[in-house]
Amino acid sequence: MLLGVIADDFTGASDIANTLAKGLPGQGGLTTSQYMGIPDGDAAPEVEAAVISLKTRSVSVQEAVRQSLAALEWLKAQGCRQFVFKYCSTFDSTAKGNIGPVGEALARALAVKGVVACPAFPSAGRTIYQGHLFVHDRLLNESGMQHHPLTPMTDANIRRWLRLQTNTEVGLVPLNVVRAGADAIRAALQASAQENEILTIVDATCDDDLVAIGRACADAVLVTGGSGVALGLPANFIAKGLAKGRGQAFPGVAGPEAILAGSCSGATRGQIEIHARHHPVVAISVDEVMAGKIGPENLLPFFRDNRGKAPLAYSSGTPAEVAAAQERYGRAAVAERLDALFAGLAQRLVDDGVRRLIVAGGETSGAVAQALDLGDLVIGPEIDPGVPVLVSRRREIALALKSGNFGRPTFFADAMAVLEGKRP
């Protein structure tokens, strides 16, 4: 195995797995598998890149560090030459962590400093300039992320935000240095290491910047960031003759389908609204879930009655509605109950014959993926930037796990077609 990724949530893991499997145009990527948690045994011999999906974004700092270090040990045992800590392109974290503590813990375990920290993903509108994170034309804290129910992002200066989470100063490689090329980036990272800066924010506003960062990290033991930071990494292994670059055919999976949406992002709410114009949808009342009036058994008939119509069940609410529910019941309680509902519903749906499943929302996707016990997942074609088809080796199921902010307006119908082997 060449490269190992430790991802702090399940949709983010799919995102970077897609980047590694796709590689640069005309080159191809790495043979990539995604794992739901730390595997019990060794990876298949053909796997060149492994992505371990953890659910550590919103747990305690201590637990996030513990799980991440355990994932690192498994990847080291597989012979990985390079490691990536993957977090969200909107830098989802609180002032206490978990990005900084996990990043520093991995760096210390690998005895490295001046480690790239770059959540940029320009194809999805996430760019970094002078250490400030933008979502399209808005600063992060004006993009809607300031209303995130678990990790509200209230400061677009991610260098300053990261420093709240770390024990050492945070460096910066500005855009003018990035544009000077890989050698300049590498020198700036070495200077950061000499200043005892373990993590270093690196600006990027387009894919070419990410490719240059990738070249600069050809020999880096550890890289951290969003999926975009991995854009140029497969090319390094191909250039060294360690990988050939290849694609994987995907014939599609037929059978009953279902869509579950637990994200309250503006993008997901808009996608639900569009999907509802031509497909059956059902809203899940948080109050009824908290009161024990709605469980998986209450929702299963809706999906049975609408097979072949891409049925969708959602708990997504406006920021005001989500805040009100959290005020009534507590943030953690609401998240726990909704995750349990979607996880139980997914199990019932698969047991009932569903073979194509789409899940929106990072926390929701994590709960569903853990509940289904899918084993390792083969990375299929890209549906939208950052969202690939995932095919379980253990069960004949094709999935799409979508981060809340990702996807075009017609994502749900388009993704369902791709899961079946068609193009929208």
User: What does the pLDDT read at residue 299?
Assistant: 97
Same domain (yes/no): 168, 295: no
Residue 274 lies in a domain: yes
**One domain for residues 210 and 174:** yes
Q: Two tokens at 112?
A: 């490295």
- Closest Cα to residue 105, out of 222, 207, 268? 222
Q: Are residues 61 and 195 in the same domain?
A: yes
Closest CA to 191 of 217, 213, 214, 172: 172
Evaluated on CA atoms 65, 68, 73, 76, the torsion sign reads: negative
Ranges under pLDDT 70 in the chain? 246-248, 424
Last residue of a domain, one of 185, 204, 239: 239
Residue 424 belongs to some domain of the structure? no
Backbone φ/ψ region at 416: left (φ over 0), alpha (ψ -120 to 50), beta:
alpha
Q: Is residue 246 part of a domain?
A: no
Q: Does one domain contain both 193 and 261?
A: no
| Distance separating alpha carbons of residues 143 and 278, to the nearest angstrom | 29
Same domain, 233 and 126: yes
Does one domain contain both 15 and 125?
A: yes
Residue 248 included in any domain: no
Q: How confident is the model over 274-296, as pLDDT tens digits?
A: 999 999 999 999 999 999 999 99
Strands 222-225 and 115-118: parallel
pLDDT at 323 (0 to 100)? 84
Residue 250 lies in a domain: no
Q: State how many domains the chain has.
A: 2
Which residue has tokens 């979508």?
Answer: 402
**Under the phi-then-psi rule, with left for phi > 0, alpha for psi from -120 to 50, and beta for the rest, what region is 184?**
alpha
Q: What is the pLDDT of residue 341?
A: 97
50 lies in some domain: yes
CATH number at residue 53: 3.40.50.10840
Q: Are residues 215 and 331 in the same domain?
A: no
Q: Which of 58, 59, 92, 54 is nearest to 74 (CA)?
A: 54
For every residue of the chain, which 3-state class applies, written as one string?
Answer: CCEEEEECCHHHHHHHHHHHHHCECCCEECCEEEEECCCCCCCCCCCCEEEEECCCCCCCHHHHHHHHHHHHHHHHHCCCCEEEEECCCCCCCECCECHHHHHHHHHHHHCCCCEEEECCEHHHCEEEECCEEEECCEEHHHCCHHHCCCCCCCCCEHHHHHHCCCCCCCEEECHHHHHCCHHHHHHHHHHHHHCCCCEEEECECCHHHHHHHHHHCCCCCEEEECHHHHCCHHHHHHHCCCCCCECCCCCCCCCCEEEEECCCCHHHHHHHHHHCCCCCEEECCHHHHHCCCCCHHHHHHHHHHCCCCCCEEECCCCHHHHHHHHHHHCHHHHHHHHHHHHHHHHHHHHHCCCCEEEEECHHHHHHHHHHHCCCCEEEEEEEECCEEEEEECCCCCEEEEECCCCCCCCHHHHHHHHHCCCCC
Nearest residue to 341 via CA among 403, 284, 301, 398? 284
The answer to whether residue 7 is domain-embedded is yes
| Domain presence at residue 249 | no
Among 239, 273, 290, identify where a domain stops.
Answer: 239
Check whether residue 65 and residue 168 sit in a common domain.
yes
Q: Are the C-beta atoms of 50 and 5 separated by less than 8 Å?
A: yes
CA distance 32 to 3: 9
**Boundary residue ending a domain (239, 272, 302):** 239
298: exposed, middle or buried (Cβ count in 10 Å: 0-12, 13-18, 19+): middle
Residue 276 has which token pair?
């509802």
pLDDT, residue 203, reads 98
In this structure, the answer to whether residues 339 and 400 fall within a common structural domain is yes
C-alpha 213/C-alpha 228 separation (Å) is 10
Measured CA to CA, the distance from residue 190 to residue 187 in angstroms comes to 5
| Same domain flag for 67 and 103 | yes
Residues 294 and 226 occupy one common structural domain: no
Q: What is the edge-to-edge ordering of all strands in the sheet holding 126-129?
A: 126-129, 132-135, 138-139
Map tokens 């503006």 to a residue.
Answer: 266
Structure tokens at 111: 């005895």
Q: Strand pairing of 281-283 and 356-360?
A: unpaired
270 shares a domain with 213? no
pLDDT at 247: 60
CA distances from 219 to 74, 331, 341, 344 (A): 21, 42, 44, 44
What is the CA angle 276-362-98, rounded to 5? Answer: 155
Q: Give the separation between CA 57 and CA 66, rounded to whole angstroms.
A: 13
Q: Which residues constitute the domain of residue 371? A: 257-419
Q: Give the CATH number of the domain where residue 274 resides.
A: 3.40.980.20
